[in-house]
Amino acid sequence: MTNCSFLPPIMQEERRRLKNAIIIQSFIRGYRDRKQQHAIQRSAFDRCASASQSGGTFSIASGPNLTLLVRQLLFFYKQNEDSKRLIWMYQNLIKHSSLFVQQLDGSERLTCLFQIKRLMSLCCRLLQNCNDDSLNVALPMRMLEVFSSENTYLPVLQDASYVVSIIEQILHYMIQNGYYRSLYLLINSKLPSSIEYSDLSRVPIANILLENVLKPLHFTYNSCPEGARQQVFSAFTEEFLAAPFTDQIFHFIIPALADAHTVFPYEPFLSALLLLESRRSGTSSRTSSRAPWLFFFVLTVGEQYLGTLSEEGLLVYLRVLQTFLSQLPVSPASTSCQDSASDSEDEGEEADKQPSAPEDGRLSVPYITEECLKKLDTKQQTNTLLNLVWRDSASEEALTLMASIGHTLMVQHRMVVPKVRLLYSLAFNARFLRHLWFLISSMTTRMITGSVVPLLQVISRGSPMSLEDSSRIIPLFYLFSSLFSHSLISIHDNEFFGDPIEVVGQRQSSMMPFTLEELIMLSRCLRDACLGIIKLAYPETKPEVREEYITAFQSIGVTTNSEMQQCIQMEQKRWIQLFKVTQLYVPASRHVWRFRRMGRIGPLQSSLDVGLESPPLSVSEERQLAILTELPFVVPFEERVKIFQRLIYADKQEVQGDGPFLDGINVTIRRNYIYEDAYDKLSPENEPDLKKRIRVHLLNAHGLDEAGIDGGGIFREFLNELLKSGFNPNQGFFKTTNEGLLYPSPAAQMLVGDSFARHYYFLGRMLGKALYENMLVELPFAGFFLSKLLGTSADVDIHHLASLDPEVYKNLLFLKSYEGDVEELGLNFTVVNNDLGEAQVVELKFGGKDIPVTSANRIAYIHLVADYRLNRQIRQHCLAFRQGLANVVNLEWLRMFDQQEIQVLISGAQVPISLEDLKSFTNYSGGYSADHPVIKVFWRVVEGFTDEEKRKLLKFVTSCSRPPLLGFKELYPAFCIHNGGSDLERLPTASTCMNLLKLPEFYDETLLRSKLLYAIECAAGFELS
């Protein structure tokens, strides 16, 4: 307790006032005295300067006198009053530099060194006002040049190491006091905005400024320790490169530093830059405003020095790329690189919509960002990076960094493999893919129990992992899945199965990274990983911000709880993105393994008919839905058929409901003109909703009504005949491959004109109606056509060409592996169509007839030919057909199936009819039973039928020759045999609407066989009695 505490408040307040008054008076006296001393020293300086100029007693040509004047000047200097005095002093110091430098070798060495450093810092401050037209910048620039040069000190001091120490200290002080900031302002002020590097010899000041930029970099690189070097490079980066580029920086300084004659210390710069960014990482955001400018500089200057980097330098370069690429903002142009579902033929137009260079002298972030991505995609950059990771001795760090770069390009910048040279090259390098997969497989983590577990196993379990572990494996896993799935597009079936490929006597090396046994194991790993990722993407409990997460987040600059929640959500999003890409595309013909029904999934319980007013899905239902939509092949085909039928049933109940029987669509169709009448009466204009019930009234060839009331059977017969007619190649809308499989005819437009798309839309609706009504139709479609219907994009890849035109596919394989002079083949970028006997030459690209196919562009030619045959030529046909199909059946439901499964869904399975199954689910009426003698004779006769005759019987009764997908238990109404009376002259008849066979009482097996065969062979429809 102080004595003041016992004083009354009034006295305490008085003491405080007195104390404050003393402080104020002291400050004012000090200020007044300093101002007085400044004036005295300024007058003394002026007298000495005048005396030296007038030839008086004071001589400026003296080391001690120079030191005295500098001491006086530094004491009173104020820039707004003493700039001219400083310029005069610079004049004399430059003139008598050796006299002044001599003071560094005497008792005043420390004072002289301090004075030089202060004078150089004043130079920097003076140059920062370079916009002042009255300022002569020549002397300050000359001062910087003279007193930062070894040539000024060595003749006087003789000791080289001492000179290096002096210059290091001077540069250090200059850098600390805004040296590079001064040069930045000076360049932008004194150089014209139109200057380019080629103007260097014509603009003297440009050369001087460039030398001043490089001098500290060269000196510290050659003569200074790591710490001093780091400081210079950091200042150069922060004050010169981190700000938006001006025209002078972009068109002059950067090209100058990228010139080999400049000898820019690129490798140490990269190391310093990486260290600088690592120090900033704790406070910087995910994207940095400085990243585009620094990244552009690294890439541009690197074009000259990449070939000179050491092994360690290349790794540092990879680290720098990975650092800045992740901080680079998303370029607007990169969104056009997405693998979108666009089916437009004008794909090239979007690609041309690049950010243009600004015209107002200011460089925009989108422009620089796009330039960075272009430079990263050059051949030189690609080759440098590939050489680092392709070799057998490629380090784990190099592979990890490369994976991170690829992951960032695809996820953050939305680039796709075919449009990025680096990714495309990696995708077709088997050695790299093997290295990458084995690295992924070898990555481990230590569990709480102390055991070491592979990260793939942790993912497969769906167990949460640390941020560090997920950051290690996700980029690698993502890149491998993307590249390997893309590489499968161009791998021939023989390569896939490990067989050598021979094309016209030539033997190709395999591009397949794995043997068949390895591929089976790899696919199982990917399958299990996908199921585990679903658990991670859809966690059972809401994530909590635990203590270890808080520590981890704070280490990367995340401090608030909302930011932490956003990071956790971002982590879940990363798992979802990884899940999307790990589903490898494998052509159906290559399914050499079969996936067992997995116990962890179980039967899918959810009906999946979630409406807008329904409660939200549970976590279990979300996972099941994710599996069903994204990973359907792990769910048995029969289960997916049941789900599909359940979805159709729910939709049908909503549309058709329990309304009156006569509600719906009623049409009258002439049997001889089924397609024409249906195309007219069931057009979108007349009947916009084909999900409704359709009742058909048929007229025979004579225009008379056919017998029967449509309870569903007549419609099924009508739809079956309509689809047969519409897809008949003689109709002109579809053609067949060599294997008899259907696909759209490119010549359809020549037959019906511009309305051809309406016909495909109509046929798509009709096929959709057949699927909607669970009706099987025997239409064998080409696999590539079904793939076009199922994909998010209507385009398919080159390997489908083998099913469309084996001859063209074989020729393209020959061209791909041809070792001779490709130009001698006389090919150009055109194809010839011979539709309806009329030859037409089509250019594959603009000016294609004048572009010869060479060894350099043959891969592009091969892909363009395949793309034309598979996609461009029938793009409008397929798009219209798909739109018509989607008008009736949700395409997302169909995407639960692959192309072969869709064919089964449309036409049924090519399996023998099981009579035991049919018997088990057959009903009897009209006095018949399973033990009735006629029924026993009937089954004995049918057992003696050939498989073809059994199919005809089934079609006679049900209008379809193939059994239901899930067996006859799914046939509704059930197969039924009704007593057709005792008249033995009658033939068996059928009511297909009821799946009913009316069988007279034929007790004689021979008679029953002949009558039944006659009836099913005639197939006379409802007019048969």
pLDDT tens, residue by residue, 749-765: 888 888 899 999 999 99
d(C-alpha 204, C-alpha 215), whole Å = 17
Q: Which of 219, 249, 199 has the alpha carbon at shortest distance from 148?
A: 219
d(C-alpha 788, C-alpha 899), whole Å = 9
Residue 921 has pLDDT above 70, yes or no: yes
pLDDT at 470: 86
Dump pLDDT digits (tens) for 895-920. Answer: 889 888 999 999 888 888 889 999 99
Element (H, E) at 949: helix 947-958
Give me the long-range contacts of 633-638 (CB less than 8 A, separation at least 24): 633/595, 633/898, 634/527, 634/531, 634/595, 634/598, 634/601, 635/597, 635/601, 635/604, 635/896, 636/597, 637/897, 637/901, 637/904, 638/965, 638/966
Residue 778 has pLDDT above 70, yes or no: yes
Please tell me whether the peptide bond between 973 and the residue prior to it is cis, using omega within 30 degrees of 0.
Answer: yes
pLDDT at 993: 67
d(C-alpha 310, C-alpha 769), whole Å = 66
Q: Do 746 and 874 meet the contact criterion of CB atoms below 8 Å apart?
A: yes
Amino acid at 745: S
pLDDT at 333: 56
The single-letter DSSP state of residue 331 is: P
Phi, psi of 991 (to 5 degrees): -115, 95
Q: Span 395-414, mean pLDDT?
A: 89
Q: Span 161-180, mean pLDDT?
A: 91
d(C-alpha 782, C-alpha 805), whole Å = 11
d(C-alpha 885, C-alpha 764), whole Å = 4
Token pair listed for 502:
């021979």
Residue 873 has pLDDT above 60, yes or no: yes
Dump pLDDT digits (tens) for 582-636. Answer: 544 333 333 322 233 333 333 333 334 444 445 667 778 778 887 887 788 888 8
Helix/strand/coil for 25: helix
Phi, psi of 225 (to 5 degrees): -70, 175
Residue 4 banded pLDDT, cuts 50, 70, 90: low
Phi, psi of 291 (to 5 degrees): -60, -45
Contacts of 667 (CB under 8 A, 6+ apart): 677, 678, 681, 682, 694, 695, 696, 697
Length of the chain: 1025
pLDDT at 267: 92
Question: For residue 892, how many C-alpha atoms fall within 13 Å in the half-sphere facing its CB?
Answer: 8
Phi, psi of 742 (to 5 degrees): -85, 140
Q: Do 773 and 717 meet the contact criterion of CB atoms below 8 Å apart?
A: no
Token pair listed for 931:
């033990």
Q: Do 938 and 977 meet the contact criterion of CB atoms below 8 Å apart?
A: yes
Dump pLDDT digits (tens) for 329-373. Answer: 886 655 544 444 444 444 444 444 444 444 444 578 888 989 999
Number of Cβ within a 10 Å radius of residue 191: 21
pLDDT at 593: 27
The residue ranking higher by pLDDT, 569 or 885, is 885
Annotated catalytic residue: which of 124, 525, 993, 1018? 993
d(C-alpha 980, C-alpha 7), whole Å = 127
Residue 415 banded pLDDT, cuts 50, 70, 90: confident
Task: Encode 455-477: b = buried (16+ Cβ within 10 Å), e = exposed.
Answer: bbbbbbbbeebebebbebbbbbb
Contacts of 23 (CB under 8 A, 6+ apart): none
d(C-alpha 217, C-alpha 211), whole Å = 10
d(C-alpha 277, C-alpha 717), whole Å = 73
Domains in the chain and their CATH numbers? 428-590 (no CATH), 619-655 (no CATH), 665-796+872-906 (3.90.1750.10), 807-870 (3.30.2160.10), 910-1023 (3.30.2410.10)
Q: Do 494 and 422 meet the contact criterion of CB atoms below 8 Å apart?
A: no
- Active-site annotation holds for 993: yes
pLDDT at 173: 92
Dump pLDDT digits (tens) for 645-695. Answer: 888 888 888 887 765 555 788 999 898 899 999 999 999 999 989 899 888
Residue 1023 has pLDDT above 60, yes or no: no
What percentage of the chain reaches a pLDDT higher than 90? 23
What average pLDDT does the chain have? 81
The residue ranking higher by pLDDT, 86 or 359, is 86
Dump pLDDT digits (tens) for 455-469. Answer: 999 988 888 888 888
Cα-Cα-Cα-Cα dihedral of 407, 410, 411, 414, to 10°?
160
Element (H, E) at 669: strand 665-670
d(C-alpha 834, C-alpha 845), whole Å = 19
Please name the residue that has the structure tokens 């719906």. Answer: 664
Residue 495 has pLDDT above 60, yes or no: yes
d(C-alpha 173, C-alpha 120), whole Å = 8
pLDDT at 1024: 37
d(C-alpha 108, C-alpha 226), whole Å = 30
- Give the lowest-confidence range in 171-180, 259-268, 788-797, 804-813: 788-797
d(C-alpha 634, C-alpha 637), whole Å = 9
Element (H, E) at 445: strand 444-446
Amino acid at 902: I
d(C-alpha 1014, C-alpha 610), whole Å = 50
Q: Which of 939, 788, 765 has the alpha carbon at shortest distance from 872?
A: 788
pLDDT at 553: 47
Number of Cβ within a 10 Å radius of residue 968: 22
Number of Cβ within a 10 Å radius of residue 289: 14
Q: Span 92-102, mean pLDDT?
A: 89
pTM of the model: 0.70
Q: Do 276 and 237 meet the contact criterion of CB atoms below 8 Å apart?
A: yes
Query: What is the 3-class SS of 419-432, one letter each residue?
Result: HCHHHHHHHCCHHH
Residue 564 has pLDDT above 80, yes or no: no
d(C-alpha 384, C-alpha 310), whole Å = 12
Please name the residue that has the structure tokens 């302002």. Answer: 185
d(C-alpha 357, C-alpha 374), whole Å = 14
Taking 3-state DSSP, the helix, strand and coil percentages for the chain, each rounded to the nearest 5, stand at 60, 5, 30
- Positive or negative, the CA dihedral 25, 27, 28, 29 is positive
pLDDT at 567: 54
| Partner residues linked to 520 by β-bridges | none
Q: Span 806-815, mean pLDDT?
A: 84
Q: Which of 27, 101, 28, 90 has the alpha carbon at shortest distance from 63?
A: 101
Dump pLDDT digits (tens) for 532-543. Answer: 888 888 887 755
The single-letter DSSP state of residue 251 is: I
Strands 975-979 and 444-446 turn out to be unpaired
Q: Do 716 and 993 meet the contact criterion of CB atoms below 8 Å apart?
A: yes
Amino acid at 597: R
Rg from Cα positions in the chain: 42
Token pair listed for 683:
């057009």
Chain Cα centroid distance, residue 607:
33
Residue 822 banded pLDDT, cuts 50, 70, 90: confident
What percentage of the chain reaches a pLDDT higher than 70? 83
Contacts of 404 (CB under 8 A, 6+ apart): 322, 326, 475
pLDDT at 255: 92
